[in-house]
Amino acid sequence: MENGDWSKKEFLAYVLLYAAHCNYFEDSKELNFILSKIDDATFHKIHTDVVMDSEVTKLKKIQQYTFENKLSQTEKETILKDIKQVFFADGTVDLIEKELFATLKKIFS
């Protein structure tokens, strides 16, 4: 799926699933949090893209969507807060998650 035709809900799903998958292990608590934010159909529609896309592609898709859709500062802050909640859902934040958060924070600034 190209990100040019994503809805806001699909974009959120992509970003949150990327956060959960960044260390190649999706904890059930992380997935449950994501499912509290998005519906099952959107989750399944986006999940395969997240798993199959390279790291570079994921970041480019997020950058492109953010640029093209001119997210407000409030929207960006909400997404970053949700990303933190994904990372903390399993009770720990590893180095890969910290590095990804720093990168996404730059994209959303």
pTM for the model: 0.92
Q: With a cut of 70, say whether residue 3 has pLDDT above it.
A: no
Q: With a cut of 60, say whether residue 1 has pLDDT above it.
A: no
Average pLDDT, the chain: 92
* Domain range annotation of the chain: 3-107
Q: pLDDT tens-digit profile of 73-103?
A: 999 999 999 999 999 998 889 899 999 999 9
Predicted local confidence at residue 16, as pLDDT: 97
Q: Are 88 and 10 in contact (CB under 8 A)?
A: no
**Integer Cα distance of 29 and 92 in angstroms:** 11
